[in-house]
């Protein structure tokens, strides 16, 4: 048994473990809850640990003490397990993990099945998105520094960043990210992701973006599905009320300003 709480934390890190519950610290150190609380406060001030939740801490290795916390990908799996919530890493965070280098996200994006307040830890902000499709969406396990992580597939990621375009950057940025992911997309898997959420207006927008990228092998199956949904004309850019629009009749979209891929 370690002599001090800090030695106990050192022993966890030596075994490759970068998170712990405060209850575990109390149990293993055999110190009183109040003593552990005060010790953790001191260690947090020294940036040896980072408090993510009152009951959940991340261990901060030396190379991340300047940032105040290790990357969220190091601890998000254990955090969601502690919160007893299903999850997957999504939007721009997933896109980056799939190799889309266009503007690295400033936030870490996580989907779960209910509303959760954002968490700030060190320089990292974790933003949560509520979705009823979390349990059924296509995800894949990806290896990180500290273990495996549930990440939306490229197809799920593309559907999500159009649905949550406001949080993923403006539509031109979304299209730029899709352009980077497009070579890895499978048309059948993409259609399955589209059909899962049944979001017709945003599927119209996705189809238009894919056509703009000259990815008709991806957009054609989606177009066949969308025509059966009897779509109504919608604006390409949400919130725009411009009478001077051209219409993309294939996708039933009103376009006030065309998509511009960022370079």
Residues in Cβ contact with 162 at an 8 Å cutoff, skipping those fewer than 6 apart = 174, 178, 202, 203, 205, 206, 209
103 inside domain: yes
Whether residues 76 and 32 fall in one domain? no
Phi/psi of residue 225, nearest 5 degrees:
-70, -45
Whole-number Å distance between alpha carbons of 40 and 58: 11
Q: pLDDT at residue 1 above 60?
A: no
Q: How far apart are CA 236 and CA 258, in angstroms?
A: 9
Judgement on whether residues 78 and 181 belong to the same structural domain of the protein: yes
Same domain, 41 and 101: no
Shared domain for 85 and 131, answered yes or no, is yes
Examine the domain organization and report whether 43 and 172 are in the same domain: no
How many Cβ atoms are within 10 Å of 151's Cβ, its own excluded? 22
Residues 30 and 86 in one domain: no
Q: Do 14 and 140 sit in the same domain of this protein?
A: no
Residues 216 and 140 in one domain: yes
Identify the domain containing residue 95 by its residue range: 72-255
- pLDDT category at 261 given cuts 50, 70, 90 is confident
Gap between the Cα atoms of 155 and 106, Å rounded: 22
**Structural tokens at position 57:** 């801490």
- The verdict on residue 122 lying in a domain is yes
Helices (H), 30-122: 33-45, 76-83, 91-97
Tokens 């725009």 label which residue? 240
In tens, the pLDDT along 190-249 reads: 999 999 999 999 999 999 999 999 999 999 999 999 999 999 999 999 876 666 788 899
User: What does pTM read for this prediction?
Assistant: 0.92
Distant-in-sequence, close-in-space partners of 213: CB < 8 Å, separation ≥ 6: 175, 178, 179, 182, 261
């Amino acid at each position: 048994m370690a002599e001090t709480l800090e030695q106990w934390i050192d022993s966890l890190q030596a075994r490759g473990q970068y998170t712990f519950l405060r209850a575990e610290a109390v149990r293993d150190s055999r110190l009183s809850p109040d003593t552990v609380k005060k010790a953790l406060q001191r260690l947090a001030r020294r940036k040896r640990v980072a408090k993510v939740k009152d009951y959940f801490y991340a261990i901060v290795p030396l190379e991340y003490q300047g940032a105040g916390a290790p990357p969220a990908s190091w601890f998000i799996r254990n955090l969601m397990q502690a919160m007893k919530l299903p999850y997957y890493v999504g939007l721009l965070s997933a896109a980056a993990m799939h190799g889309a280098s266009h503007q690295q996200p400033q936030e870490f994006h996580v989907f779960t099945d209910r509303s959760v307040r954002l968490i700030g830890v060190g320089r990292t902000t974790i933003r949560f998105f509520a979705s009823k499709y979390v349990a059924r969406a296509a995800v894949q396990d990806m290896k990180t520094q500290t273990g495996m992580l549930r990440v939306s597939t490229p197809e799920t990621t593309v559907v999500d960043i159009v649905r949550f375009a406001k949080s993923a950057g403006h539509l031109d940025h979304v299209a730029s990210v899709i352009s980077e992911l497009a070579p890895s997309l499978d048309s059948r898997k993409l259609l399955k992701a589209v059909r899962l959420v049944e979001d017709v207006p945003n599927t119209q927008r996705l189809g238009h973006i894919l056509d703009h990228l000259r990815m008709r092998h991806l957009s054609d199956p989606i177009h066949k599905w969308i025509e059966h949904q009897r779509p109504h004309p919608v604006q390409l850019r949400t919130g725009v009320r411009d009478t001077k629009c051209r219409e993309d009749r294939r996708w039933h979209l009103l376009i006030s300003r065309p998509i511009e891929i960022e370079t």
